Amino acid sequence: MKLWGGRFTEKTDEAASSFHSSLSFDQRLYRQDITGSMAHAEMLGKESIIPSTDATAITNALKGILSDIESGVLSIDLSSEDIHSFVEAELIARIGDAGRRLHTGRSRNDQVALDMRMYVKEEIGELSKLLAELLEILLTLAKKHKTDIMPGYTHLQLAQPVTLAHHLLAYVQMFRRDFERLADCYKRVDVLPLGSGALAATTYPLDREFVAKKLNFSAISSNSMDAVSDRDFCIEFVSALSITMMHLSRFCEELILWSSDSFGFVEMADAYSTGSSIMPQKKNPDMAELIRGKTGRVYGSLVALLAMMKSLPLAYNKDMQEDKESVFDAADTVRACLSVFSKMLETLTFKTEKMYDAAKKGYTNATDVADWLVKNGMTFREAHEVTGRLVLYAIEKNKKLDDLTLEEYTSISDIFNESVYSAISIEACVNARNVAGGPSEQAIHEAIKEVEEFLRGTAG
């Protein structure tokens, strides 16, 4: 059934019809489409725009169609142009002419905008739950590893000692921002476009506020042209997902490095690893690598949406049919990645002894030597210079800073005394950094408390 055939005298070319059809992908919007139509029909009856008996018949029939699709009794006819055409044709087949009244005061333009907004709102809810679950897992791991010391890196070079908890809490902050971004995005998605018509609203006295309340929208659109041609909410949603994937990819990259023999900081569970077809000794971090790879796929969806919208004149254009596959694929990909990543993370084995040993290498306590000098009267720039010479000397002698004798220290600067040793132990280096946001045990304790409060708020 075509919703626009009256103007035409010739059939659409078969290849063009197939090319034009969106049902292969927009059929997944059947629930949103039917739910939106039920609210629209109820409003039409309430306002006496159509007979109340017809509105009731439409609503009951739509409930039946929804139930039949979900139970498998009714299959979606893939020869239909789109999900809207299929639902309306099935409605008319069931109740006759009363079904033809459903589209009163509505266009497919505001109808599809409604369906997409309902879909994105639901996806934000589901993805937010997955992010909250990931945050809980990270928090549990941080509590377990509050005092386990590991090296921190800059430029992938050993830098300063931190704790595993501090490292994990860095990702907590990233995923927390992702959660907050989705919550903020939701505000702009939560706007009802129905009632905007094709572009210039309608002459019927629609009660848009009634429909908004029925469909749990907090606001109605303010401009009919913008409402039908706006896909900012799709772009913003996929942009937020792209940032989430960036964070997942960064974490996966570290886990891939850490699981290598060169690092040896973690071991992936067998359930989230694969082997080699030729090298029997191999245990590959394929799930982490796949998540890293799928990040580019989500970025591609974002770029596709931006390119699609970049030069469209007002109002609706058929180009915008291309929004759905990008949004669907991005949401599906991120949902799958978050699910697998969380389970993979829960089953990781952290090799904390190897982390500790690595933290003692690479002169990661050099900054603490400089800080000790500053606290004993030297300017920081001079302390930096002295410590640099001390490190160079230690490298030449193949010694750690902890292993140098006091005589060797004083040969570089006579300010040094025995107390330097207690200041530059790895444990001291970590716990001396007892500032908000730092890696000390006390600072980590406070950071964990703050995140726990945040998560309690999200559960409410």
Helices 52-71 and 30-46: crossing angle, nearest 10°?
Answer: 170
152's CB contacts (< 8 A; 6+ apart) are 159, 160, 161, 162, 166, 167, 364, 439
Contact between 208 and 201 under an 8 Å Cβ cutoff? The reply is no
Tokens 């090319």 correspond to 19
Tokens 């500053």 correspond to 374
316's CB contacts (< 8 A; 6+ apart) are 109, 198, 199, 228, 229
Asked about 52 being catalytic, the answer comes back as: no
How far is Cα 455 from Cα 179, in angstroms, rounded to an integer?
A: 11
3-state secondary structure of 149: strand
Contact between 276 and 284 under an 8 Å Cβ cutoff? The reply is yes
Tokens 């699709």 correspond to 69
**Active-site residue, from 17, 48, 218, 276:** 276
Contact between 298 and 245 under an 8 Å Cβ cutoff? The reply is yes
How far is Cα 84 from Cα 37, in angstroms, rounded to an integer?
A: 10
Asked about 103 being catalytic, the answer comes back as: no
**Active-site residue, from 71, 155, 222, 277:** 155
How far is Cα 361 from Cα 161, in angstroms, rounded to an integer?
A: 10
Give the DSSP per-residue string, 90-123: HHHHHHGGGGGGTTTT--HHHHHHHHHHHHHHHH
Give the bridge partners for 149, in sequence order.
163
**Ramachandran category for residue 377: left, alpha or beta (phi over 0 → left; psi -120 to 50 → alpha):** left
Sign of the torsion angle spanned by Cα atoms 350, 351, 357, 358: negative
Give the bridge partners for 266, in sequence order.
350
Phi/psi of residue 219, each to 5°?
Answer: -150, 165
3-state secondary structure of 192: strand
Structure tokens at 398: 């193949």
Catalytic residues, by residue number, are 155, 276
